[in-house]
Structure 1
Amino acid sequence: MKLGARMLKTGLAVAIALYITNFIGLPSATYAAIAAAFAIQPNIHRSFQTVLEQIYANVIGVSIGTFAAFSLGNDPIVIGFITIIIILICAYFKMSEDTIALAIIAVLAVMETTDTALLQFAGGRFGSLMIGILAAFIVNMIFLQPKYEIRLFKNIDQVTSDIIQWLRISTRHLDDDPALKGEITRLRGDFRFLDQTYLLFSEERVYLRKSRIQRMRKLVLLRQMISTSRQSLETLQAFHEYDYKIETIPKEFQQVLVDELDKIIYAHERLLLSAMGRIRKQPTKSIEDITDPNIPNLVETLIQVYEEDDKERMALLPLASRLMEYHREIMHLQTLLNSYQHYHEYNNFDFKKKRRRIMP
């Protein structure tokens, strides 16, 4: 298990909230710590988005909780009913789950007592919760800013490498069926993680116009990298599903299929290496002739293999479609990468950290 930046920030925010609450002398510093733990966000943009929402939820929870404690008391059934009301109100305003949890905590904190000093008691609880929210906001703003760009590209590179390795194995009929099924399931989970990381990176804000334009191009390029890698996974899935049918086609065509897929795999790898600035931007013509795939011709040949048997010919059309889609995504990625490198020649995605498993 890895100790991540968000864990460290949560612990730091809790400690700061406790110190401030104890220094001021407010009661129940524990509530400040709980609020700080719930208020931590993964990036600055979400901190700005949620801080006002969290303050509103705190105000709503304390206000309704105080009114209910005055008028109805603090019987467990009353507290449960008020909790339902709070959830409905927060859901109506489309607040996040963490914010709803803060509002519920505010209600529970206030409805502990029905003493005559309820307003003072509620004010103390409100202050403690506000300190927790603000402590988390300050920690989000100042400490351990996440580098989602580096993390995202590193994970794209790792996932793509894993898929390509399995493609090379499966096309040569060397794969273990249960192991490949498990890897495909794991890789689909990795793509969900990639999409989440991409969303967090896209939420970061850049205020200089020149940097903003570069970042927009980078976002488009990274989105296409994910799309291309996802298509490579779909190709792997197709080869896994049609493995037994591929073994029935003529041996010479099986070799052509392997050779052409190797070329398209190499083209994919070449684009990622080019994005990292590790190979020439303009390879020699002889290298291009050797490595550039001819997928449209391969698909035509694949269809002609069963020219006399319409039923068998249709059976491999899904595989042909996957190959065409994979080739199309790679061509689009090449166009975007060439455009990006034309405008930002020295801004590569290089990183030098050791590879690791990306899923928690």
Structure 2
Amino acid sequence: MTIGARVIKTGLAVALAVYISTLCGFPSPIIAAVASIFTIQPSISRSWQQVVDQVQTNVLGAVVALIAVRLFGQTPISLGMVCIIVILVCIRLRMESTIGLTLVTVVAVMEANQQGWMFALDRLLMVLTGMAAAFAVNILIIPPRPRKLFMTQVHDAHAKLSLLLRMAISNEMKEGVHREEKEKLQGTLRKLDEAHRLFEEERPFLRRRNQAGARQLILSRHLIKALHKGVDLLEAVEEHYFAVSGAEAWARRFDQQIEELAKYHEQILLKLEGKMKANAAIEPEEEREGRLIKQLSDYLHQNPDEYKRLVFVASTMLEYAYHLRRLDRVSDQVQQRQETEAAFIG
């Protein structure tokens, strides 16, 4: 089990929130600690947005709580009604992520209001202190570096995809192992989709790196797309290839083509890391793909009903190849722009 940066930063944020609360003389540091836990986010932009949203909804929740106590008193029914109102307001403002901490603020303010307005205000300040502590920790200590993690996950996803594709036609992998590896691959792809959303959120936040960020955003989109198309090919093989009675006659040709595409995908990733020679020819021959389609077309004339499902596999294979070539071109363009900018700055 590994301890990630977010885990460490959550502990540090709680410690800092408690320490500041003690310095400020707050009656209890618990609320500040809870607020710091809610504010830690996987990116700086998302953490800042969380702070902005939390401040708005928590101040609003505190005001509603104070008004409710004045009008209806501190009763279980009034507390429940205020919580309902606050939840509806947060949903209306599309700030659902702030509901948890806002309800903590509401309960704390209503409970403290019996001891006076200043005591209730202290409870709100505790919440704001916890949010400020978490935001400071998120920026200053191990700042989020989603792009480095993203490329690590891309390589991890490709390694799993390559293994599954290379074993797909031969069908030599145990079913339990195949299912486990495929589930891990799907989980990694979900993480990559989430990382891409983080990139989109970061782009307007880091305006100085807007152009470079836009290019990286495009590249990351193509990296994810190629992986998804590889998974589509894997699923097409599983669903259609083995349902054809004469599929054994095509095993070597399909297996060879998939092997080339998996190798091509791997070489593109190596080129992005600068591990390939500058003039290395890595793109597979399109003529071989054309020959495969022609052979398959001729074969279909013999028995179209029996062999047409092989077309589904072949078309998915061609689409995977198409997106790999697009990824290759985009990666070349991004690297060329980076080299040009580096030479200009140098």
TM over 0.5: yes
Is 1:281 the counterpart of 2:275? The answer is: no
The residue that corresponds to 1:351 in the other structure is none
What one-letter code is carried by the residue in structure 1 that aligns with 2:227? Answer: S
Runs of 4+ in 1 over 3 A off after TM superposition: 205-208, 345-348
Is 1:260 the counterpart of 2:257? The answer is: yes
Which of 308, 324, 340 is residue 318 of structure 2 equivalent to? Answer: 324
The residue that corresponds to 2:171 in the other structure is 173
What one-letter code is carried by the residue in structure 1 that aligns with 2:55? Answer: I
What one-letter code is carried by the residue in structure 2 that aligns with 1:100? Answer: I
Q: CA deviation at 1:108?
A: 0.5
Q: CA deviation at 1:27?
A: 1.8
> Is the 1:224–1:333 Cα contact (8 Å) retained in structure 2?
yes
The residue that corresponds to 1:201 in the other structure is 199
What one-letter code is carried by the residue in structure 2 that aligns with 1:275? Answer: L
Cα 1:106/1:306, change in 2 over 3 Å: same
**1:65-97 deviation line (CA, Å, top 9, x unaligned):** 112122212221221111001101111111132
The residue that corresponds to 1:354 in the other structure is none
Please list every run of 5 or more consecutive structure 2 residues that lacks an aligned counterpart in the other structure. Answer: none
The residue that corresponds to 1:37 in the other structure is 37
- Give the SS at the match of 2:27: coil
Distance 2:245 2:192 in 1: 34
Q: CA deviation at 1:270?
A: 1.4
> Is the 1:66–1:118 Cα contact (8 Å) retained in structure 2?
no
Distance 1:166 1:346 in 2: 38
Which of 268, 285, 292 is residue 292 of structure 1 equivalent to? Answer: 285
Is 1:269 the counterpart of 2:266? The answer is: yes
The residue that corresponds to 2:117 in the other structure is 119
- Scaled by the length of structure 1, the TM-score of the pair is 0.87
Is 1:336 the counterpart of 2:335? The answer is: no
Distance 1:55 1:96 in 2: 13
What one-letter code is carried by the residue in structure 1 that aligns with 2:215? Answer: R
The residue that corresponds to 1:146 in the other structure is 144
Instruction: Tell me the matched-pair count.
Output: 339
What one-letter code is carried by the residue in structure 1 that aligns with 2:269? Answer: L
Distance 2:316 2:91 in 1: 42
Listed as ranges, the matches of 1:194-273 within 5 Å are 194-204=192-202, 205-208=205-208, 211-245=209-243, 248-249=246-247, 251=249, 253-273=250-270
The residue that corresponds to 1:357 in the other structure is none
What one-letter code is carried by the residue in structure 2 that aligns with 1:28? Answer: S
Distance 2:295 2:138 in 1: 57
Distance 2:2 2:326 in 1: 36
Distance 1:42 1:91 in 2: 22
Q: CA deviation at 1:172?
A: 2.0
The residue that corresponds to 1:19 in the other structure is 19
The residue that corresponds to 1:100 in the other structure is 99
Distance 1:266 1:174 in 2: 19
**1:285-316 deviation line (CA, Å, top 9, x unaligned):** xx76xx43532332332232232212123222
The residue that corresponds to 1:313 in the other structure is 307
Q: CA deviation at 1:241?
A: 2.0
Q: CA deviation at 1:179?
A: 2.7
Please list every run of 5 or more consecutive structure 1 residues that lacks an aligned counterpart in the other structure. Answer: 349-360
> Is the 1:170–1:239 Cα contact (8 Å) retained in structure 2?
yes
Q: CA deviation at 1:346?
A: 8.9
- Give the SS at the match of 1:197: helix
Is 1:91 the counterpart of 2:84? The answer is: no
- Scaled by the length of structure 2, the TM-score of the pair is 0.91
The residue that corresponds to 1:352 in the other structure is none
The residue that corresponds to 2:5 in the other structure is 5
> Is the 1:247–1:254 Cα contact (8 Å) retained in structure 2?
no
The residue that corresponds to 1:356 in the other structure is none
Distance 1:320 1:158 in 2: 26
The share of aligned pairs that are identical, in percent, is: 29
Structure 1 or 2: larger helix share?
A: 2
What one-letter code is carried by the residue in structure 2 that aligns with 1:145? Answer: P
What one-letter code is carried by the residue in structure 2 that aligns with 1:225? Answer: L
The residue that corresponds to 2:190 in the other structure is 192
The residue that corresponds to 1:76 in the other structure is 76
> Is the 1:21–1:29 Cα contact (8 Å) retained in structure 2?
yes
